[in-house]
């Protein structure tokens, strides 16, 4: 195998998905140090990593509650097989077949799921009773995404009141997820982040005022990992991108650890062609990758190649290797079967991406 342990970077077969382990560990340690002695703990969101091995590294670094998030039931199945027993599916699970699977998982792990609809909540209870299990539920609060989640604290209270009355259901608290666009200044990031977190906490407080205990406030993401420390009521952050990173967060104290290693196969005037294309990366919403270490612009992308306009092609020769940095970590990783971990340009390990293709 060309990419066996001990192989030098220059001898790696390309294209290949590379993790710089020094950068990964630095990113993870930034969060673990921030959370180690605080009320706030990390719940790694594995829709980004898709790897029980990498999720375990986040937990072992410290500052974690020992659990993980997933986006899908199938991802939860992978994480349970990987040894995790504290899982939050940070989405709604609504179809009967998936609820059956969710209840089956609850026999092996502490399973929690987001809710925003009474009919779905009743159905979760029905299947939990059938399987003689208990499902934890968190009311999802819409803060900025406008896809799922309740739109008012009154609706949140209504769901919480109903949840505590149902057999097979354990009301746990509230959750939310939010996003920020563009490249905000530090002041803008804090202002936007605080506004979103306050929306979630407004529902949490309303539920408590109705006489219902709220054990978990699960919210946040990479861009609010530090902002959330301001709020003692928040118990956990659903952090995903921060560990491996992509081009969307240059304003955060993390570096890009996951990259596509590629070979230059042609040079033409101010352009280079590399052996990495759509099979290797995902670039939704017209977000394009960049060549590391040089000013670049994507010109064309095929299945097995891409052409990049660069500021200085004289620094390259055909056969030289370059790193491709991408804009959508989740989609990138879903293209690959394994990670190759390097440290100081030497292969240290290779790990299967067990959560790849978990669409259900």
pLDDT value of residue 219: 94
pLDDT value of residue 286: 58
pLDDT value of residue 76: 98
- Is the dihedral angle over the CA atoms 216, 221, 224, 226 positive or is it negative? positive
Per-residue model confidence as pLDDT tens digits over 214-233: 999 999 899 999 999 999 99
Kindly state whether residues 137 and 48 are assigned to the same domain: yes
Q: Is 330 exposed, middle or buried (CB count within 10 Å of its CB: 0-12, 13-18, 19+)?
A: middle
Kindly state whether residues 150 and 234 are assigned to the same domain: yes
In the block, tokens 């066996």 appear at 4
Kindly state whether residues 228 and 189 are assigned to the same domain: yes
- Residue 78 is assigned to a structural domain of this protein: yes
pLDDT value of residue 327: 85
Kindly state whether residues 127 and 201 are assigned to the same domain: yes
Average pLDDT of the chain is 95
pLDDT band at 281 (very low <50, low <70, confident <90, very high): confident
pLDDT value of residue 312: 78
Note if the bond before 236 is cis, omega within 30 degrees. no
CA–CA separation, 263 and 295 (whole Å): 17
CA–CA separation, 291 and 309 (whole Å): 10
CA neighbor of 50 nearest in space, from 70, 27, 29, 23: 70
Question: Do residues 86 and 108 lie in contact, with contact meaning Cβ atoms separated by under 8 Å?
Answer: no
Range of the domain at 149: 23-243
pLDDT band at 258 (very low <50, low <70, confident <90, very high): very high
pLDDT value of residue 284: 63
Domain count, the chain: 2
Question: Do residues 118 and 158 lie in contact, with contact meaning Cβ atoms separated by under 8 Å?
Answer: yes
CA–CA separation, 203 and 161 (whole Å): 13
pLDDT band at 288 (very low <50, low <70, confident <90, very high): confident
Kindly state whether residues 217 and 327 are assigned to the same domain: no
Compute φ and ψ for 246, nearest 5 degrees. -145, -170
More confident: 318 or 282:
318
Per-residue model confidence as pLDDT tens digits over 5-56: 999 999 999 999 999 999 999 999 999 999 999 999 999 999 999 999 999 9
pLDDT over 90 percentage in the chain: 89
- Residue 3 is assigned to a structural domain of this protein: no
Residue 356 has pLDDT above 80, yes or no: yes
Residue 3 has pLDDT above 80, yes or no: no
Question: Do residues 68 and 79 lie in contact, with contact meaning Cβ atoms separated by under 8 Å?
Answer: yes
Any idea what the CATH number is for the domain that residue 89 is in?
A: 3.20.20.10
Kindly state whether residues 307 and 225 are assigned to the same domain: no
Kindly state whether residues 188 and 293 are assigned to the same domain: no
Residues 6 or more apart in contact with residue 19 via CB below 8 angstroms = 244, 257, 258, 339, 340, 341, 342
- Residue 257 is assigned to a structural domain of this protein: yes
pLDDT value of residue 237: 97
CA–CA separation, 60 and 190 (whole Å): 29
pLDDT value of residue 168: 98
Kindly state whether residues 218 and 283 are assigned to the same domain: no
Kindly state whether residues 184 and 263 are assigned to the same domain: no
Any idea what the CATH number is for the domain that residue 335 is in?
A: 2.40.37.20
Reported pTM: 0.94
Per-residue model confidence as pLDDT tens digits over 119-171: 999 999 999 999 999 999 999 999 988 889 999 999 999 999 999 999 999 99
- Residue 128 is assigned to a structural domain of this protein: yes
3-state secondary structure of 70: strand
């Amino acid at each position: 195998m060309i990419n066996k342990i001990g192989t030098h970077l220059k001898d790696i077969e390309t294209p290949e998905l590379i993790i710089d382990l020094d950068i990964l560990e630095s990113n993870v340690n930034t969060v673990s140090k921030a959370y180690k002695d605080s009320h706030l703990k990390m719940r790694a969101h594995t829709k980004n990593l898709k790897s029980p091995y990498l999720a375990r590294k986040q937990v072992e670094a410290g500052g974690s509650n020992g659990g993980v998030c997933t986006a899908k039931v199938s991802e939860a199945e992978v994480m349970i097989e990987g040894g995790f027993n504290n899982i939050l599916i940070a989405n709604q699970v609504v179809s009967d077949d998936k609820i059956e699977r969710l209840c089956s998982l609850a026999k092996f792990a502490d399973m929690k799921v987001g809710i925003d609809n009474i009919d779905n909540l009743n159905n979760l209870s029905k299947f939990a009773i059938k399987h003689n299990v208990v499902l934890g539920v968190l009311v999802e609060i819409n803060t900025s995404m406008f896809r799922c989640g309740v739109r008012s604290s009154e609706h949140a209270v209504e769901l919480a009141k109903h949840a505590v009355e149902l057999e097979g259901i354990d009301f746990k608290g509230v959750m939310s997820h939010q996003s920020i666009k563009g490249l905000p200044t530090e002041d803008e990031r804090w202002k936007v982040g605080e506004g979103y977190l306050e929306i979630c906490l407004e529902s949490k407080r309303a539920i408590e005022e109705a006489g219902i205990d709220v054990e978990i406030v699960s919210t946040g993401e990479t861009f609010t990992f530090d902002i959330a420390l301001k709020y003692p009521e928040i118990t956990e952050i659903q952090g995903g991108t921060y560990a491996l990173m992509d081009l969307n967060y240059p304003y955060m104290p993390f570096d890009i650890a996951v990259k596509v290693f590629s070979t230059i196969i042609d040079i033409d005037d101010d352009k280079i062609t590399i052996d990495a294309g759509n099979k290797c990366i995902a670039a939704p919403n017209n977000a394009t990758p960049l060549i590391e270490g040089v000013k670049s612009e994507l010109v064309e992308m095929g299945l097995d190649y891409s052409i990049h306009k660069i500021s200085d092609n004289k620094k390259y020769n055909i056969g030289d290797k370059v790193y491709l940095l991408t804009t959508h970590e989740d989609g990138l990783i879903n293209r690959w079967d394994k990670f190759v971990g390097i440290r100081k340009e030497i292969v240290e390990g290779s790990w299967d991406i067990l959560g790849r293709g978990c669409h259900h």
